[in-house]
Amino acid sequence: MNALPPLPYETPATEADLAVMREQLGRDMRGVRSIARRCACGRPAVVRTAPRLEDGTPFPTSLYLTLPSMVLAVSRVEATGQMARLTEELAQDPELARAYAAAHERYLARRAELGSAEEVDHVSAGGMPTRVKCLHAIVGQGLAEGEGVNPIADRVLAELRPVASIDVCRCEETAAQESAGGPSADGQSADGQSADGQSAGGQSASGQDA
C-alpha cells in the first residue's frame, strides 16, 4: 500500500485537549490518538481515534467531529433531509460517486495507519462508499484531510461557511446558546448511528455518540 500524505493539520493531543473534549462531548473521548483539526481558537474540532478502543470495541469512526458549533451546524443540515438528496445524487452522478468511493478508500487507508479492527476493516464511516448517512462523520474526514478528498464534505462545508467555518471560532457563542437552552440536543439528528456511521447508540447532545 502506498503511504498517504500526512494529515495536513494533525497535532498531538494534550491533557488540556482531553479536558476540552470532555466539555465538548459531556463525556470522555476514548481512544484518542491525536487532534486532526482544530478550531481557529485552538480547541479540538476533529479527533483522531484508534480503530479499537481500550476495551476491545471496534471504533470505525476514526476522524470524529467534536467542535460543538460545527456539530450543531451539521445537525441542522441533516435535519433538512439533505442526506437522502445527496444519496440520490450519488446514485445518478458517476463522477461524484467515484470521488466519494475514493474518499471511502482514503478513510480506510488512513485508519489503517493506526492499526486494524477486522470487524470493521471494510467499514469506513458516514455511509460511504455509496450512501450518505452521517454528515458529522463525513465532515470530520473533510476537515481532517483538507479540501479535495471528500466531495460531499467539501460541499457541506461550503454551504455551511456563512454560519459555521473552521476558520472562525464560534465556541463562545455556541456555549452561550446551549446554556440558554437554545438549540442543542433538539438540533441533533435523532436517528441512531450505525456501525458505518459514527458508531452505535443514538446521538448525544454533543454530537455523535460513542
Give contact residues for Zn ion (rule: CB under 5 A): 39, 41, 43, 169, 171
Alpha carbon of 94 to those of 23, 86, 91: distances in Å? Answer: 41, 13, 7
DSSP 120-178: GTT--STTTTT----HHHHHHHHHHH-TTS-HHHHHHHHHHTTT-BTTB--HHHHHHHH
Taking the C-alpha atoms of residue 58 and residue 39, their distance in angstroms, rounded to an integer, is: 27
**Minimum distance from CB of 169 to Zn ion (Å)?**
3
Nearer to Zn ion, 121 or 172 (CB): 172
Nearer to Zn ion, 77 or 171 (CB): 171
**Minimum distance from CB of 41 to Zn ion (Å)?**
3
Helices (H) and strands (E) in the chain, counts: 7, 3
**Minimum distance from CB of 77 to Zn ion (Å)?**
20
Nearer to Zn ion, 64 or 100 (CB): 64
Say if residues 24 and 66 touch (Cβ distance below 8 Å): yes
Nearer to Zn ion, 43 or 52 (CB): 43
**Minimum distance from CB of 39 to Zn ion (Å)?**
3
Taking the C-alpha atoms of residue 7 and residue 111, their distance in angstroms, rounded to an integer, is: 11
**Minimum distance from CB of 83 to Zn ion (Å)?**
26
Q: Give the amino acid at 100.
A: Y
Nearer to Zn ion, 165 or 194 (CB): 165
Taking the C-alpha atoms of residue 40 and residue 18, their distance in angstroms, rounded to an integer, is: 17
